[in-house]
Structure formats: C-alpha cells, structure tokens
Structure 1
Amino acid sequence: MPASETIWLAISGIALESWNLFLEMAPYLFLGFTVAGLLHVFVPEGQIIKYLGSSAGKIRSALNATLMGIPIPLCSCGVVPTALSLQKRGATKGATLSFLISTPETGVDSIAITYALLDPIMTIFRPLATLITALSAGIAENFLGREKNTSPVTKAAEKEVEVSKNVLMIQPAATCSDSSCSCQPSLGEEKELSSKERLIDGIRYAYVELPGDISKWLLFGILVAGIISYAIPYELVETYLGGGIASMFVMLLVGIPLYICATASTPLAAALIAKGMSPGTAFVFLLAGPATNAATITMVTKFLGKRSVTIYLTTIAVCSVTFGLILDFIYFTLGIEAVSIVGSASEILPVQVKTAFALLLIPLMIYGIYKH
C-alpha cells in the first residue's frame, strides 16, 4: 500500500473515531452548558464569595466551599483568582483549598459528559470522590496550617466589595494560551443588572464564554482520544496500564503538572478504558489532572504558602490513588467489565438527536474560541 494512502487512511480513521466520540457527548455537553448558564444567573460569583466569606468554622467553611465549587465549570487555573478573592474576603485557607480542588475537578458539563462517555458508576463516583478530596484538604489545612492576618494579594484586591442581592460580580478568571496558563488575582467590578440583562448574561456565559473557555482543550482531548482509539493496540494499554498501584502512579505523575480541564480529560479517560486501562487507573487521571497544573501549583505556593501547597498536593495524590483502588474494587466486586459498558449510557438517545446537538454545538464552539 502506498505511503500516501496509508496516511490518508490513518487521518480518516482518526477523524471518524473523534467524530463518533463528539457525537456521543454533544447532547450532554449542551445540557451541561445550559445548567452552567442557569447557575451563573441565579448563583452569581459575588454571592458565592459573600456566602463563603463569613467565618463558619474550620469544618463548615471547608464544606461550604466544597459544595459550592462542585457544580461550577472553571479550569484549574481559572479558579485561582476567584479562590484568592474568596480568601481575601475572610474565607479560611482551608475553604480556599477546598474551592481550588472541588471547582476544577467537576462541573455540570463534565458530570454530564462522564455519564455519556463512561457509565453511571463513574458519574456518581466522580463528584463523590471530589467532595471527599476537597473536604479533606480543607479540613487538614484549617487544623494543620497557619492562618495569616494578611494575604499577599495585589493591592487592587484589598478593596472590599459589597455585593447586594441583584449585583453580579464580573470577575475575569485567567488568561490562558495554548502553551501556558497565566493566573493573576483580579478584582471584579460591580454592575447593576436587570432581570433581562441577567438572562442575556447567562445565555452569553453558557453558549459563548464557557464554550470559549473549554472548547480548544476539549477538541484537543477529543482528537487525542481519537488517536488512542485508532492507533494504540488494546494489548499495550492492558499490559502496562491495566491496573494496580504502579499504573496509577504513572497517571498521577502525568496528571499533576498537566493543564487539562475536567471536561477535556473525560474523553481521554474513556478512550483509555476502552483500550484496556482499568477504571481506577483512569480515575486517577480524572481526579488529579483537572485539579492541578504547574501554573496553579506556583500560584498556590505564592499566595497560600509552602505548607498549604504541600497539603494540597499530598491530599490530591493520596485521595486519587485511594479512590482509584476503591473504584477498581467496586467494578471487580460487581463483576463488571468497564471495557464492555463504557459509553453505554448514551445509547438511550437516537443518532438523529446526537447529530442535531453536534451540529448545533460546532458553530457555538467555533464562535466561542474566536471571541475568546
């Protein structure tokens, strides 16, 4: 077979695998965007900061931050300015750490895609493990760490912002490029919004800003997943990453410094499970990858201190491997082959519905990337 024909077959095969993957996730991704928009309208960032800013105790403050962070779709770098602003308004360091972990590890969009591409077990297990991980880090920080009277946040962030019930906090998250993510704490601006303006802002956030934030990395994740599905033999993944602590440590070392959002990590995990990786090993990547990256680690060290970043990374590492082992045990005990059920949850929707949502999402994602 000529080389040009071989290359063409590989490209078309990867494109087909990537399209099929996108087709499966499109309806759930659209649902996730919609719910995120509703959260943006009815639970503004300013209200989150105000609610978590009051002292609620060492355990309750971490729990509040964890529960508020789980549904919000922010990347591991974009969450930093919001979390630091939260701390400046009186939140404990533990609450800040909990928010830093729970927010990027899950979001309504990534939970929906987890259901579409993986299975109901992983869909339930993922936010539950996130909650325990974030809460553990927050409580550990509050009891073991040292609270400082002042926080080394920029002078512009020192001004207190009063947020009324009908005020939306406009707060840029971060500036991210293809090669790096630069996070700087910033102060939101007060802006009085009418009900109509809040609705328009929610629609803009759901279908322009959020797709713009994640689409570039999501498309990259889908492409890599397509390459894995087409090119990597089942036996290779099963042999070296089929399960056990060693393979989980490999995924931990890959996931901690990598910049990837919860949504983009899901198709990669699904492709690897389909190729023979144990669900627990894939889960280590799903938990550790979105929660950390090199830029976030640097920012946590700078603004919260070395003790906090040690608690932050240790908790994520220990919980990722522990929950990975627990998840493998659950599948083994139930006698479920993860390879055989991955993506089965999305089969309830007809292909016409999936195609319609895929065609609807494509221009939204392209426009979002362009505007972003």
Structure 2
Amino acid sequence: MENALSNSTIDVAATTRPWRPGAVEGLAILLLLLVALRNPLATLVSGPGLQTWTTVFVSVMVQAMPFLVFGVVLSAVIAVFVPRSFWARALPRHPVAAVPVAGLAGVVLPGCECGSVPIAGSLIRRGVTPAAALAFLLAAPAINPIVLTATAVAFPGDPEMVAARAAASLIVAVAMGWLWLRLGRTEWIRLPRRSDLDDTSQARAFWAACRHDVMHAGGFLVIGAAAAATINVAVPESWLQTLAADPLLSVLALAVLAVLLSICSEADAFVAASLSQFSLTSRLVFLVVGPMVDLKLIAMQTGVFGRRFAARFAPATFVAAVLVGAGIGTVVW
C-alpha cells in the first residue's frame, strides 16, 4: 500500500511539474524564427548600415588584437617571472619618493589593467607601501610601451596624443599615490591572494595568467569594438555633432563612455580614433580615464582590495583623470 501511494505521488508530481524548454527546444524555436523572419533578416544583412557596422567593428578588432595579445603575454611574464621581492628592494624607502618611482616603473614593467590589479595586490603583500603600489596600478596600463605604440598607430596624424596620454596618466597616478599617503587608511585595503599565480609552477602560472587576461580583456575588446561600431551607425550624426561641439559635454560624455565600455588599454586607442566626431581633448580624456576607472576595474578592485577601498578610490581617480586629461588637452591643442 505504501509503495503504491508513493508511486502514485511520484506520478502526480511528474504530471504536474511545469514544462521547461531545454536546449533542443530552444534551438528549434530559434530555427523557426529564422525561417519566419528570413526576408526581413536578408534585407537587414544587405543594408548599408550593417555593412558600415561590420567594417568599423572588424577594423577595430584587426588593429587592436596584436597589441592585446602581446600585452597579455608580457603582463603574464611580469606577474610570474619577476620576483615580487624585487620591488621592495628597488623602490626608495621613503613613501613620498617611492610613489613617482613606482609610477615610472610602468614604463619598464608594463601590464594591462586586468593584470595590474593582482600585481599591485602582490606588491602590497610583499611589503611595498600601498601608495606606491597604487601608483603602479594606475600608471602601468597607460604609459607602457605597448599602449603608447598602439596609440601612435591609432593616431598617425596626431603624434602629440602619445606624449599627452603618457604625461596625463603619469600625473594622475602619482597624484593619487600621494593623495593616498595623505588620506588613505590601512584598514581600507584587504590584502589579496591569487592562488593561480602563487601555488603552482611558473609554467602553469604563466598559462593561467594568459588565459585569465585573454578571456577578460578579449571579451571587453569585443564589447568595445561593437559599441564603437554601433555609435558610428546607430546614433544620428547630428546628435554626435551637437554633443561634440560642446567642449564640456564632449569631455564628460567620453569619460563616462570609457567607464562603461571597459576596453583593455592595449586596444582603447583604436576605439578612440574611430570617434572622430569628438575633439582630441575629449578623446585624450577617454584614453586617460579608461585604463584607470571602468566597470571591470571597479569590480576587480572591489574583489581584491575590498568595497571600502573601491568606493573611495575609483570616484577620486575618475575626477583626477578628467581634470588632468582635460587640462593637458587644452594646453596641447
């Protein structure tokens, strides 16, 4: 009797369980929609708007991808093979002097912003003063040779963009380091640990770092290229011209866009170059803000250093990057 009751209960539950479509059903529905909408889709694909979108998207990806791959590999080499104790010996002992030295170290020991966050955490864990580590975190993704070379390739007719980007980024990094010395508190930082780099062989750690950065940086590059292509196609030209004509609005618009797009620093210059409606000053602000403050960096800083740190550091860095970038752009152009 009990077995019969339990079997009947199972049968009732099975019959009353709500139906949920699986992968096969989803694929069948998608195919049916494609067949039903084949004529509108054919018109859309052959339209000039989509062709323009594809051209912009592919051009940004083709130009940026070599720099992205090379930057990721170099960042992994630095994260794995450069001894972390080297920094404690190389930097000046006085924190005020260590900040600009750590910022300039981004030139010889570069890394993309995806890799600079865990590297900065490792530096702090090895005894480097947090102000110096944070200066390196901000400077390395923006002033390293790979990024500056990519900027020169993206702006062949405006060589001043390279020097302006390097100067503005370094000034912001050093200023934020000194600001942390003045106002920062130790309890705002939760010391990180990255097990995939610390607890395995160097070869495995190298490939783990490469896979991690390629997945993150490559994904955001695709999003950024698609967004740049969409802006060039979907947004009416008159809107862009109106926005770009106002110096203040154009700077603020591209600063916010840099935060939202979250493009890797090895590739952001090509996206900025495609936004030709905007002034060089506003595009400089885009290039200064992006490697220092964007959605992925805020998320990574929150996970590595804690919410209290990110809630204070990211907004302050954004304001400093906009002011310094706009100031240097006004002087240069």
| Alignment of structure 1 residues 180-259 onto 2, 5 Å | 188-189=198-199, 191=201, 211-256=214-259, 259=262
The residue aligned with 1:353 is: none
Q: CA deviation at 1:207?
A: 8.4
The residue aligned with 2:128 is: 91
Q: CA deviation at 1:6?
A: 4.6
The CA deviation string for residues 252-303 of structure 1, in whole angstroms up to 9 with x for no partner, is: 344346533213432331121x1x1112112222222231234644665683
Query: Secondary structure of 2:113's partner?
Result: coil
Higher relative contact order (CA 8 A, sep 6+): 1
Task: Measure, in 1, the Cα distance between the counterparts of 2:80 and 2:287.
Answer: 25
Contact conserved, 1:141 with 1:308, CA < 8 A, in 2?
A: no
Task: Specify whether residues 234 and 295 from structure 1 end up closer, same or farther in structure 2 by C-alpha distance, changes over 3 A only.
Answer: closer
Residue type at the aligned position of 1:102: A
Greater Rg by CA: 2
The residue aligned with 1:126 is: 165
Query: Secondary structure of 1:262's partner?
Result: coil
Instruction: Indicate the RMSD between aligned Cα atoms, in angstroms.
Output: 3.7
The residue aligned with 1:17 is: 56
Task: Specify whether residues 236 and 188 from structure 1 end up closer, same or farther in structure 2 by C-alpha distance, changes over 3 A only.
Answer: same
Contact conserved, 1:32 with 1:108, CA < 8 A, in 2?
A: no
Task: Specify whether residues 123 and 136 from structure 1 end up closer, same or farther in structure 2 by C-alpha distance, changes over 3 A only.
Answer: same
The CA deviation string for residues 229-272 of structure 1, in whole angstroms up to 9 with x for no partner, is: 34444432221133422332333344346533213432331121
Query: Secondary structure of 2:111's partner?
Result: coil
Output the TM-score relative to the length of structure 2: 0.69
Moved more, 48-57 or 92-101: 48-57
- Match status 1:65 vs 2:102: yes
Contact conserved, 1:67 with 1:131, CA < 8 A, in 2?
A: yes
Task: Specify whether residues 151 and 312 from structure 1 end up closer, same or farther in structure 2 by C-alpha distance, changes over 3 A only.
Answer: closer
Q: CA deviation at 1:213?
A: 4.3
Alignment match of 1:102 (pick from 139, 155, 173):
139
| Alignment of structure 1 residues 261-340 onto 2, 5 Å | 261-272=264-275, 274=276, 276-294=277-295, 296-297=297-298, 300=301, 303=305, 306=308, 310=312, 313-331=315-333
Residue type at the aligned position of 2:249: A
Contact conserved, 1:75 with 1:290, CA < 8 A, in 2?
A: yes
The CA deviation string for residues 76-125 of structure 1, in whole angstroms up to 9 with x for no partner, is: 5x432221221111111211221221233354443232122223221222
Task: Measure, in 2, the Cα distance between the counterparts of 1:32 and 1:264.
Answer: 6
Task: Specify whether residues 111 and 268 from structure 1 end up closer, same or farther in structure 2 by C-alpha distance, changes over 3 A only.
Answer: same
Contact conserved, 2:244 with 2:279, CA < 8 A, in 1?
A: yes
Q: CA deviation at 1:325?
A: 3.7
What count of residue pairs does the alignment treat as equivalent?
287
Task: Specify whether residues 47 and 247 from structure 1 end up closer, same or farther in structure 2 by C-alpha distance, changes over 3 A only.
Answer: same
Q: CA deviation at 1:137?
A: 0.7
User: Stretches of 4+ moved more than 6 A in 1?
Assistant: 204-209
Task: Measure, in 2, the Cα distance between the counterparts of 1:191 and 1:98.
Answer: 29
The CA deviation string for residues 197-244 of structure 1, in whole angstroms up to 9 with x for no partner, is: 99xx6xx69987754442222233223223333444443222113342
Task: Specify whether residues 19 and 306 from structure 1 end up closer, same or farther in structure 2 by C-alpha distance, changes over 3 A only.
Answer: closer
Task: Measure, in 2, the Cα distance between the counterparts of 1:30 and 1:101.
Answer: 23
Task: Specify whether residues 39 and 212 from structure 1 end up closer, same or farther in structure 2 by C-alpha distance, changes over 3 A only.
Answer: closer
Task: Measure, in 2, the Cα distance between the counterparts of 1:251 and 1:91.
Answer: 34
Task: Measure, in 1, the Cα distance between the counterparts of 2:257 and 2:332.
Answer: 24
Task: Specify whether residues 35 and 251 from structure 1 end up closer, same or farther in structure 2 by C-alpha distance, changes over 3 A only.
Answer: closer
Task: Measure, in 2, the Cα distance between the counterparts of 1:79 and 1:12.
Answer: 37
- In the alignment, structure 2 segments of 5+ residues that lack a partner are 1-38
Q: Give the fraction of aligned pairs with identical amino acids, expressed as a percent.
A: 22
- Match status 1:51 vs 2:51: no
Task: Measure, in 2, the Cα distance between the counterparts of 1:63 and 1:284.
Answer: 21
Residue type at the aligned position of 1:322: V
Task: Measure, in 2, the Cα distance between the counterparts of 1:140 and 1:245.
Answer: 26
Query: Secondary structure of 1:263's partner?
Result: coil
Q: CA deviation at 1:63?
A: 2.0
Query: Secondary structure of 2:291's partner?
Result: helix
Contact conserved, 2:171 with 2:324, CA < 8 A, in 1?
A: no
Task: Measure, in 1, the Cα distance between the counterparts of 2:71 and 2:112.
Answer: 14
Task: Measure, in 2, the Cα distance between the counterparts of 1:295 and 1:208.
Answer: 17
Query: Secondary structure of 1:290's partner?
Result: coil
The residue aligned with 1:5 is: 43
Contact conserved, 2:288 with 2:325, CA < 8 A, in 1?
A: no
- Match status 1:75 vs 2:77: no
Contact conserved, 1:279 with 1:324, CA < 8 A, in 2?
A: no
Task: Measure, in 1, the Cα distance between the counterparts of 2:238 and 2:113.
Answer: 33
Contact conserved, 2:152 with 2:162, CA < 8 A, in 1?
A: yes
